[in-house]
Amino acid sequence: MTLRFAVDTGGTFTDLVVAGADGSRSMHKVATTPSDPIGGVIGSLRAAAEAAGEPFGDYLKRGSMLVHGTTHAINAIVTGNTARTAFLTTLGHPDILVFREGGRMEPFNFTVEYPEPYVPKALTFEVPERVMVDGSVRLPLDEEAVEQILHRLAAGKVQAIAVCLLWSIVNPVHELAVGALIERHLPGVPYTLSHKVNPSIREFRRAASTCMDASLKPIMGTYMRNLEGRLRAEGFEGRVLVVTSQGGVMDAGNAAETPVHLINSGPSMAPVAARAYGGAETTLIVGDTGGTTFDVSVVRRGRIPRTRETWLGQRFRSHMTGMPSVDVRSIGAGGGSIAWVDAGGLLHVGPRSAGAVPGPACYGRGGANPTVTDAALLLGFIDAEFFLGGRMHLDRDAAAASVQRAVAGPLGCSLDDAATAILDLATEHMVQAIFDITVNQGIDPTGAAFVAGGGAAGLNCVAIGRRLGCRTVIVPETGAALSAAGALLSELSAHQQAMFYSNSAAFDRDGVNAVLERLEAQCRQFAAGPGAGALESSVDWVAEARYPDQAWEIEVPLRAPRFASADDVAALAADFHAAHQDVFAVSDPHSAVEAVGWSAEVRCRVASGDPGRLAAAADGRTALPSRRVRFASGWCDAPVHRFETLPDGAEIFGPAMVESGFTSIVLDPGTRAVRDALGSLMIEVTL
């Protein structure tokens, strides 16, 4: 039987979900190896082979596909481990990366330094040329000046080059010429042209994504080659795919050529899995709680929202990718988040994390700081003898000592109260992150279901649901590896886009249709190339539109791939007004609509969209020993149910615990949980 593998490398654990041809699933979790992320991938596959009782090489040979979600790209940017990159821009515009878009978190707080540009001014060079907004050439490219710049780059040992010239998205002739000169004078040096990687109208965002892409090419090229090479050496002969920020997958070789698509690789898959488990008709709030971060996203009437405003840290204080990606908000709150008390006696949880090394104090690997996991262990939420299905034993005494020293002592409270405070504060951080992506965008969380993913999600998913006012909390059976499960369901995809301005009051149907036809040709080429042999192919069409004189656009799905009549233009305007009302709670139906960008995403389905089912636990136990658990009402003896062996339709009433080899789910008093036909635990929350 052929197998498909999906691996998600997180900050603390590496998750693997294996799909069999018969629809069966198996799930595995090993510690991430920060010094060698590929080693964690190989380790998870070894764990799967051992569980299957097969020699590792034979097991890998059965694999037809491996999908990998990685944080390698974003980690390289955050740690400054990218290539030495030069930025070439139009003469007179060297400060694009410095001025950015002018925003500040605190406009009048001048003690906060403005962030440094992604590429320093010392490596920014002005190219004599000028293309106008209509595509006409006002100043021809000075090739001799470009050659002189390239000689300076060679002397400065530049490792990558980003080229972003004004209005190259209308006429790329000068960018293409610069690219040809780079290949002639600096052969082998990777470079990125802005009109190819991100043909969007916003100058800073286009420049930022171009610079990020170029700076990542050397490191991600090496990573992808090593990944494929080591897998081949171990016996894997199938296709290697990588998760993209847009919620799809692409071949590892193509990903190495455009690594900017991998910056938000892992988190984009959680809403894909949530949609499969929660249905397309319901609004879903998706929380993915790992060891290091809490990632939150939404599924709105079956659609997964995207954004171009993706910051790699705090808004305005970090770098923006400028690329369309699944709208995911991340905060430093997870199982490994460190709890501490400041000099003023205020408790904090995160954003620092104990990570995989040394990990929480209870891991017994040298970690001394108390974490959310340590607090959960003290409250009885985690069984010290059944962590990771009994493969890892936790040290309760070490957890108690760390919480007492760093939290209970400074706060002057009991150990139980300190542990409860840590969980409560972590929950509040997560709730505020959810409010940011829901309430602030016109989504009422009380009408949504909360989908809990990640190994640490079960510790407070009911508390989060109650705090949000959600009446339903869904814990998928593969929820502990939700992103990896989503990667198995994802589709091979490519995002094609172009800029072309038109106003609904005087709509240029011929011009727009010509752009759409060109995008469709690119989609067909992808479907016939990387997407060849897919079970099904489709194209999603989107317009970037706004009201006249409005600063920002929103995405509006197109009903058809061409504008055949005035009715199609009217439909676009009506859909824009409705989308604007959805997002901003205001619209102007009598106003004209400006469309400035067009995009087509081709999606090639390479596997069934069925989430499949996990095999039941091998030992067949339906119940585990009951234990003392501290709920909000106090300590009580709580029955413990085995998640893997619960039959479909099984009903559980809180207070209780539901545990698997990968997660612990706390069912507060007054809750009712039922296992549905997809294997998910559907929890009814009393408000």
pLDDT tens digits along 163-213: 999 999 999 999 999 999 999 999 999 999 999 999 988 899 999 999 999
> Which residues, 6+ apart, have CB-to-CB distance to 215 below 8 Å?
77, 82, 83, 85, 118, 119, 160, 162
Distance CA 501, CA 337 (A): 47
pLDDT at 78: 75
pLDDT at 1: 62
Task: Indicate the helix (H) or strand (E) that contains 163.
Answer: strand 160-164
Distance CA 299, CA 271 (A): 6
CB 354 within 8 A of CB 338: yes
- What share of the chain has pLDDT > 90, as a percent? 60
pLDDT at 618: 60
CB 29 within 8 A of CB 8: no
Q: Kindly report whether the peptide bond that precedes residue 655 is cis, defined as omega within 30 degrees of 0.
A: yes
Burial class for 501, CB neighbours closer than 10 Å (0-12, 13-18, 19+): middle
Rg, Å, the chain Cα set: 26
Task: Indicate the helix (H) or strand (E) that contains 44.
Answer: helix 37-52
User: Which DSSP letter does residue 391 get?
Assistant: T
Whether residue 396 is predicted with pLDDT greater than 90 in this model: the reply is yes
Residues 645, 485, 19, CA angle at the centre, nearest 5°?
A: 75
Whether residue 76 is predicted with pLDDT greater than 90 in this model: the reply is no
Phi, psi of 628 (to 5 degrees): -80, 125
Q: What is the pTM of this model?
A: 0.87
Phi, psi of 643 (to 5 degrees): -60, -45
User: Which DSSP letter does residue 643 get?
Assistant: G
Distance CA 73, CA 64 (A): 25
**Nearest Cα to Cα of residue 274 among 69, 436, 482:** 482
* Mean predicted confidence (pLDDT) in 250-256: 88
- What are the chain's domains? 3-77+220-262 (3.30.420.40), 82-216 (3.40.50), 492-605 (3.30.1490), 616-684 (no CATH)
Structure-block tokens of residue 121:
């001014």
DSSP string, 553-605: -EEEE-SSSS--SHHHHHHHHHHHHHHHHHHHS---TTS--EEEEEEEEEEEE
**Nearest Cα to Cα of residue 621 among 650, 642, 638:** 642
**Nearest Cα to Cα of residue 266 among 484, 79, 451:** 484
Task: Indicate the helix (H) or strand (E) that contains 493.
Answer: strand 492-503
Distance CA 127, CA 149 (A): 8
> pLDDT band for position 622 (50/70/90)?
low
- What share of the chain has pLDDT > 70, as a percent? 98
Structure-block tokens of residue 52:
């299957």
Output the CA torsion sign for 32, 36, 41, 43: negative
User: Which DSSP letter does residue 624 get?
Assistant: E
**Nearest Cα to Cα of residue 422 among 441, 404, 435:** 404
Task: Indicate the helix (H) or strand (E) that contains 634.
Answer: strand 634-642
Distance CA 206, CA 624 (A): 55
* Mean predicted confidence (pLDDT) in 11-21: 86
